[in-house]
Structure 1
Amino acid sequence: MDAEALRTRLEADEAEALARLGSEQFLRALAGGDPRPGPLLDAAAESEHAARETFSQWVDDESDTEARAVFESVVEQEHDHRERVVDELDEWDPDDGGPGPMHAYLRARESTLQRVAGGLIGRPLVTLQTHARLIDFFAGRQGAAAARRASLFDDLRAETAAVLDEGLTLLDERCVTDEDWETARMVAGYAIRVAGDDAADALRAQGIDPASIDE
């Protein structure tokens, strides 16, 4: 197996979770109800902040020099992403309630291989879906602010795709056995499923069947 083959398998194996994260219904989960720009931007800022904190924690104790350098670059990118989203809000403060389920899972990963698989493969695959849905949401609204926000998330999505590419390269260099590839598949896949399950739980809390998604 190689990293591109792993990505293809993940997209097939986790198709249900990825579809939910790229669905119209996902916006309701993200906004906690009817999708509106303010709650969606707030949730997006929280997501970028959570990613920044996850990679910051990894930088502190990562022994793999090359991986640590990539993690440091992601910290900078996620900080920039957060600030660009926050600029679209009148005010914003990070939620003190701790990380969501996906980032809680990622922060518990200790090996370089698991961190690369979860943080640089699984997490970006999730984010590419959620950014695509936010682009569609803002592109479908009228006005200069909506157009600017659609463009913003389009830029963030492209930059996240570049992180995924970097993660695929790192994974190819670090997976040397079938067991390594299986570990990578399990960690990345679980990160995706946790994110999908979190969205499903948010929908159930609103009385919505997660199976009734609009792709």
Structure 2
Amino acid sequence: MTPDDVLETVQSDLATELSRLGSSKALYAATEGELEADRVLEAAAVAERAAAETFAAWADDEPDADAREVFASIAADERAHAERVREELDGGAADAAGDTDAGGTTDDVDDLAIPTHLRSIDGTIERAGALLGRILVADESKSQYVGYFVGDADPQTARVFRELRGDLEGQRDRALDLLAAVCTDEADWEVATAAAADVVAVAYEEHVETLESLGIDPKPVC
């Protein structure tokens, strides 16, 4: 296998889940039905900060030098993303998003399924695969943030999320390069593929459970 095989396998096997994670219902779930601009930004800020903290924690205890460098670089990306989202919020909304500098807490971060799942992973190959899975999920969600602010007649904020989504291309390339560096046999590739798929599955399960709790059918209306 190759890194591209992992990417294509996950995208193919979980095409339905990824598609639904990139639907308008995904943003409805992320905000728990509160589709207002500040609430959308708060959800984005929490997700970005959670990613930054998670990948920084991976970098801190990762024995593989290549993986450590990648995790640290992506943690830095996500910190920058969180800051850019916070800049779009007024002070009160930033507090609600859990900005620790403004006296927020980590409760919202701890409640998110993906960072909780990622923090349970400690193998280098598993982490490399899971990183790719998280990037695939983030790409789908950011497409909805862009669409929301386009529809909300806020081109400035839409541009911010379009730029953040663009950064995911570089993250994906780093994740694929890392897979090439750490996977040495078929068993490694299978582990990495399963880890990437698991992240998508975890995200989709949370998506479904949240929508159902709001009385919304997670399946698209045909």
User: Shorter-chain TM-score category?
Assistant: over 0.9
Measured in 2, the distance between the counterparts of 1:198 and 1:191 equals 11
- Among 97, 101, 107, the residue aligned to 2:113: 101
Structure 1 gap segments, 5+ residues each: none
**TM-score, reference length from structure 1:** 0.93
Instruction: Summarize deviations over 1:58-86 as a string: whole Å, max 9, x none.
Output: 11111111211111111111111001001
- Among 111, 115, 124, the residue aligned to 2:123: 111
Greater mean deviation of Cα atoms: 79-88 or 97-106:
97-106
**Cα distance 1:115–1:213, how it changes in 2: closer, same or farther (>3 A)?**
farther
Measured in 2, the distance between the counterparts of 1:194 and 1:46 equals 18
Two-structure CA RMSD over aligned residues (Å): 1.3
Post-superposition offset of 1:99 = 4.5
Q: Counterparts in 2 of 1:195-210, with a 5 A limit?
A: 195-210=203-218
How many percent identity over aligned positions? 34
Deviation above 2 Å: which 4+ runs of structure 1? none
Aligned twin of 1:150: 158
Aligned twin of 1:29: 29
Measured in 1, the distance between the counterparts of 2:118 and 2:18 equals 18
Instruction: Summarize deviations over 1:132-175 as a string: whole Å, max 9, x none.
Output: 11111111222xxx101110011101111210111001101211
Paired residues of 2:51 and 2:78 also in contact (CA < 8 A):
yes
Measured in 1, the distance between the counterparts of 2:124 and 2:111 equals 21
Measured in 1, the distance between the counterparts of 2:179 and 2:164 equals 23
Higher relative contact order (CA 8 A, sep 6+): 1
Structure 2 gap segments, 5+ residues each: 99-104
Paired residues of 1:22 and 1:133 also in contact (CA < 8 A):
yes
Paired residues of 1:59 and 1:72 also in contact (CA < 8 A):
yes
Instruction: Summarize deviations over 1:159-211 as a string: whole Å, max 9, x none.
Output: 11210111001101211111111101111101011011111111111100111
Greater mean deviation of Cα atoms: 126-135 or 25-34:
25-34
Instruction: Summarize deviations over 1:28-80 as a string: whole Å, max 9, x none.
Output: 10111142211111000000000011011111111111211111111111111
Q: How many residues align?
A: 210
Post-superposition offset of 1:212 = 2.7
